């Protein structure tokens, strides 16, 4: 399994543990990651309102670099916002000749050209489809039985593109969680919005989304996520959400590769567990046994 790796900005800073855990897990499952040399920001959710073409061009720049490394390769993206942006650029390059011409007109300014030959894949897609529970199960050395895990998918790895899961009732994490020995927390919030950047720009609206998710996770030992924005909204703003809800909503929140890595016996330092903002003592005790 060979992948061109696009970490994205968050994974170099606020989501460093997601990067550490992804790399550690990929090594442990025998997948080979080649980081795209000279990658730059995908434009996040900020570029598109200012300019659709800028958003597409920023993402296409990274696809062009990926094509230079391995035409026909697969780009692995852990961040859902980056994934969606790269995916949009890929679709525009492949399916819209006018867009392809305009984007490459822009990319000429930085001496690059993109055709859309590389495939863009979310980390969850790779874990659920390429690795799968069948590939994971033999690698599990430490059963996580006794843990109840709430799978949180968020939005942009599911919608608008239907790639590897049901866009409204996602299930792709469940076999992976079960393969670790843990139980799946049954809830309706897996594919509901975390509030995204509204938590920063319109907190009175954004925090309500966070509260609803944290409340529904009650009874689970932890939530797992596959997106730095979801993770930050659910862990960093827990105290604020608790104040808004008038009740304690504290819960452990891990990235999915951290959970899978723990089950495979990887070291918690290697998985960046000390960098997480919400790891409760009760959870640490459960996994220490």
Partner 1 sequence: MQPHPTTGSPRPDDGSAALDHVRNMVSACIQCGTCTGSCPNTLEMDLTPRKMWRLVIMGRLADVMASRTFILCSDCYTCTLRCPRGLPLTEAMETLKGIAFARHEARHRSSRLFYEKFMHTVRRHGRLREMAFMTGYFTAMKSPLAPLRFAPLGMKLMGKGKVEMGFGKSAATPLGALFDKVADIERTAAAPLEKESHA
Q: CA-to-CA distance for 53 and 38, rounded, in angstroms? A: 21
Question: How many distinct helices (H) and strands (E) make up the chain?
Answer: 14, 8
Question: CA 119 → CA 63, 64, 181, distances in Å?
Answer: 9, 12, 32
Q: Beta-strand (E) ranges in 16-79? A: 32-35, 74-77
Q: Which is nearer to partner 1, 45 or 117 (CB)?
A: 45
Q: Which is nearer to partner 1, 13 or 288 (CB)?
A: 13
Task: Pick the closest to residue 233 from 217, 257, 221, 219 (CA basis).
Answer: 217
Q: What share of the chain is helix, strand, coil (3-state, %, to 5)?
A: 50, 10, 40
Block residue for tokens 């919400």: 278
Provide, rounded to whole angstroms, the least separation between the CB of residue 5 and partner 1: 15
Q: Which is nearer to partner 1, 27 or 95 (CB)?
A: 95
Residue 66 in tokens: 């990926």
Q: Which is nearer to partner 1, 211 or 264 (CB)?
A: 211
Q: Which is nearer to partner 1, 40 or 117 (CB)?
A: 40
Binding site for partner 1 (CB under 8 A): 9-10, 12-16, 38, 40-41, 43-54, 56-58, 61, 88, 91-92, 95-96, 98-99, 102, 105-110, 155-156, 159-161, 167-168, 192-193, 195-198, 200-206, 208-209, 236-237, 274-275, 277
Q: CA-to-CA distance for 212 and 115, rounded, in angstroms? A: 42
Provide, rounded to whole angstroms, the least separation between the CB of residue 112 and partner 1: 9
Provide, rounded to whole angstroms, the least separation between the CB of residue 133 and partner 1: 27
**Reduced to 3 states, what is the DSSP secondary structure of residue 140?**
coil
DSSP string, 50-63: H-HHHHHHHHHHHH
Provide, rounded to whole angstroms, the least separation between the CB of residue 72 and partner 1: 22
Q: CA-to-CA distance for 230 and 237, rounded, in angstroms? A: 11
Q: Which is nearer to partner 1, 180 or 276 (CB)?
A: 276
DSSP state of 11: G
Provide, rounded to whole angstroms, the least separation between the CB of residue 54 and partner 1: 5
Q: Which is nearer to partner 1, 71 or 205 (CB)?
A: 205
Provide, rounded to whole angstroms, the least separation between the CB of residue 49 and partner 1: 4
Provide, rounded to whole angstroms, the least separation between the CB of residue 15 and partner 1: 8
C-beta atoms surrounding 161 within 10 Å: 17
């Amino acid at each position: 399994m060979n992948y061109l790796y696009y970490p994205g900005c968050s994974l170099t800073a606020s989501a460093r543990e997601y990067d550490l855990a992804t790399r550690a897990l990929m090594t442990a499952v025998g997948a080979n990651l080649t980081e795209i040399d000279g990658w730059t920001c995908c434009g996040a959710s900020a570029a598109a309102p200012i300019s659709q073409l800028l958003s597409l061009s920023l993402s296409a720049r990274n696809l062009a670099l990926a094509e230079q490394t391995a035409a026909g390769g697969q780009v692995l993206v852990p961040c859902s916002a980056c994934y969606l942006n790269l995916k949009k650029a890929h679709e525009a390059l492949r399916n819209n000749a006018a867009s392809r011409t305009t984007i490459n007109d822009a990319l000429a300014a930085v001496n690059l050209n993109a055709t859309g030959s590389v495939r863009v894949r979310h980390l969850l897609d790779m874990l659920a489809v390429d690795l799968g529970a069948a590939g994971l199960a033999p690698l599990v050395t430490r059963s996580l039985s006794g843990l109840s895990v709430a799978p949180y998918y968020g939005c942009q790895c599911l919608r608008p593109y239907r790639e590897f899961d049901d866009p409204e009732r996602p299930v792709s994490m469940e076999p992976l969680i079960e393969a670790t020995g843990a139980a799946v927390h049954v809830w309706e919030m897996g594919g509901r919005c975390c509030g995204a950047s509204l938590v920063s720009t319109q907190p009175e609206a954004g925090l309500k989304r966070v509260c609803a998710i944290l409340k529904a996770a009650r009874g689970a030992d932890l939530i797992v996520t596959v997106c730095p924005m979801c993770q930050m909204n659910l862990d960093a703003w827990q105290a604020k959400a608790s104040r808004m809800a008038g009740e304690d909503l504290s819960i452990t929140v891990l990235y999915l590769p951290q959970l899978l890595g723990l089950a495979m016996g990887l070291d918690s330092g290697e998985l960046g567990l000390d960098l997480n903002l919400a790891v409760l003592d009760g959870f640490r005790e459960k996994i220490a046994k």
